[in-house]
Amino acid sequence: MASMCRCWMSLVALIGLTCLSYSTAQFVVPEFSSQPEPLTYARPNSTVRLSCTVSSAATAIQCGYRRGPDANIRFVSVNTNIMTGVRCLSNGIEVNAGLVASPALLADYEFFCKAVTNTNFALIGSPFRVNIVEIRPFNDAGPSPVQKECLKGNKVQIECRPPHSVPPAEISFTVDGVALTPLDRYRVVRLSTGSAALIIGKVLLDDGGKRYGCLATNPVTRQTVQSRVETLLIVKHAVAPRSPITVAAPAPREITLTEGDNATYSCITESSPIAEVSYLRDSGRRQLPASATELREFGLLQFTGIGLADQGAYACRVSYRPDLTSSGHMRDEKKLEVFNIAVKPKLSIAVKPSDVVLRNTDAIGSFICRVVGSNRRKPLWFNNGRLIDPSTSSDFSIQAPASDIGTSSLIVRRFDPGIRGVVQCVASGDKNQWESASALLLLDSDTVAYPPSPTPPPPSPPPPRPPVELASSGGPAGPGRPPVSGALVDGPTAGRPGAAAASTDATGSGGVPDAEPRINRLVSTPTAEYVGYNMVVNISWSVLSPTLSPSSILYFSLKAKEILPAFMNRPSGTETEIHRTDEPKQSNTYLWHHPRLARSIGSLCPTACAGLLLTGRSRLIGAM
């Protein structure tokens, strides 16, 4: 009897221990510590791996995909082929670009990582895409050259429709088959229509009789294709006054941009005498917004990071006075070219769901999510990585009022232990647009454990002080290599596209030949430049004025924090240095400038500096 009693007591103790263990169990919350870039560019025939990492050792990673912003995300087993050339790994995906049959089909797919804890709480990470790098020939078949006439002194716009390129191609122009020498009166821009344009601010007779073409260069592979159609420019003198005509009006006349976009409009006219072009907002009743820059000498209006408040009606105003010799009482002729800009909000979640803690399993709770800028798409709800379909779920219902597009409420109708965990509101827009907000669904008796916060890295040492450079008096340095939006992967590891693209051209095959020497002027304020290319710079000097001592003015920067004299007792000579610059320059002269120049010479510089003759050569030898 005593033995039986002891058995019953042991059983009761075991049951009590089990209940205590369940009531004090901790649920681990998933969290990502790193995810792939939203867009990765893979070179042809390369194999790339895109991986996710999580913050807790008690968390596993699953791989998923979908095609289209409204489709469900499908998670698959490890080593499953999503499509030919794309395989799911235990912590991401692997893409063999050489096996992918359709790069366009691959570009339509979004890939995901899902972090799942040992307590079955799950969180879906941000989507990521892979695009295979390519560039195609220009689609510009037709007779060549195409003649374009203009009057001397006016502006002219020569357009070029870029070919298909992944990433988008860099556009440059040629004159008679040779790269265009950059000058202050040239501008190369990407218009809001998608075309690239060369704008000559003031046409000279010497610009006529030449053929203008364009080149497209893939920013990753540096492969270049040439347009098949060229423009033959014919420049004429005006023999009589001519009222202005608009040869290139602002286009498109109606456009919808997204908050934060950039846009460029041009307005090119022709007349004699030359008309003045300016831009107005709301017929001049309001000033141009801070995001807009007007370049009247080129007839341009450029928006950078346009805002919601910047939308409205704009106009290109053409002002013309037929008789410049009149006393000024003659009324100017004016005409307007009107265009309208609408701006939609950037995709974001304005109201994020909050944690819901229920007192018991019979309680009812709700999550609210409000999305803006979603192109009238309703947000999707996920519970522990599974799409919630209210038509088949007995635990949830969704309310989305028709009067408030973008607002959605997730109602918890009944609590089941299987739905305890992470609730996500997901908003999708166009490609590469994704916003997510998550909250927890718990009982009052539950406790949760969050991954420990990462230890902040030690502070990095300050960057070395760059050499002091005096700016060249030459024109723009020509088309550089703007950053590509996305990561570049060539092999199993990821890198930044600018550095990777540059490293493939260490010999300067796409670089710059030796530049002709140029006489430069000395400016009074030193400038600093953080740079990434290596150039060989040769500087020659000679003193033309015996009253000017070079040792008191010019110094050569040989070290980051030290300026050493290079001209002591040397009335002429040459110095050579490997110099860093932010872009390859077609022609430049570098002058090195003593920090005390302004104090030591002061107002004498305009005359004293004329006593120096400096010339230079620069040659690109590779990228850092």
Question: pLDDT by residue (tens digit) across 562-571?
Answer: 333 333 344 5
- For residues 187 and 113, state if they share a domain: no
Residue 578 lies inside a defined structural domain of this protein: no
* Co-location of 429 and 387 in the same domain: yes
* 255 shares a domain with 232: no
Task: Choose the final residue of a domain: 208, 237, 266.
Answer: 237
Domain that holds residue 284: 240-323+330-344
Query: What is the per-residue pLDDT for 297?
Result: 96
290 in a structural domain: yes
In a domain, 618, yes or no: no
DSSP line for 200-237: ESS--GGGTTEEEEEEEE-TTT--EEE-S--EEEEEE-
Of 278 and 478, more confident: 278
| Residue 122 belongs to a domain | yes
CA distance 382 to 353: 12
Domain-located, residue 575: no
Q: Is 301 inside a domain boundary?
A: yes
Ranking 181-185, 260-264, 312-316 by mean pLDDT, the lowest is 181-185
> Which residue shows structure tokens 């870029």?
162
Residue 143: asked if its preceding bond is cis (omega within 30°), the reply is: no
Residue of 208 and 59 predicted with greater confidence: 208
- Residue 295: beta bridge partners? 300
For the ranges 367-381, 443-457, 533-547, 579-593, which has the lowest average pLDDT? 579-593
Tell me the three state secondary structure of residue 377.
Answer: coil
The total domain count for the chain is: 4
Does residue 97 sit in the same domain as residue 165?
no
Q: What is the pLDDT of residue 572?
A: 52
Instruction: For 518-560, write each residue's pLDDT tens digit.
Output: 333 333 333 333 233 444 545 554 544 444 444 433 433 332 2
With a cut of 70, say whether residue 401 has pLDDT above it: yes
CA 485 – CA 363 distance, rounded (Å) = 48
Examine the domain organization and report whether 259 and 172 are in the same domain.
no
Domain presence at residue 20: no
The per-residue pLDDT for 524 is 32
Given 276, 311, 344, which residue is the final one in a domain?
344
Q: Are residues 150 and 125 in the same domain?
A: no
pLDDT of residue 259 exceeding 50: yes
Read off the pLDDT of each residue in 180-197 and give the average, rounded to a whole number.
Answer: 95
**Residue 373 corresponds to which tokens in the numbers above?**
């800028």
Of 449, 479, 494, which marks where a domain is finished?
A: 449
pLDDT over 90 percentage in the chain: 58
Q: Does a structural domain hold residue 229?
A: yes
| Same structural domain, 295 and 259 | yes
Beta-bridged to residue 372, according to DSSP, are: 348
Phi-psi region at 297: left, alpha or beta (left = phi > 0; alpha = psi -120 to 50)? alpha
Q: Are residues 138 and 123 in the same domain?
A: no
Looking at the structure, tell me whether residues 232 and 244 fall in a common domain: no
For the record, the structure tokens of 491 come out as 């092999």
- 330-339 residue pLDDT tens: 456 788 999 9
Same structural domain, 231 and 278: no
Question: 122 and 177: one domain?
Answer: no
> Do 340 and 376 fall within a single domain?
no
pLDDT for res 335: 84
b/e string for 381-415 if b means 16 or more Cβ within 10 A?
bbbbbbbbeeeebebbebeeeeeebbbbbbebeeb
Q: What is the pLDDT of residue 486?
A: 59
What average pLDDT does this structure show over 141-149?
90
What CATH number is given to the structural domain containing 423? 2.60.40.10
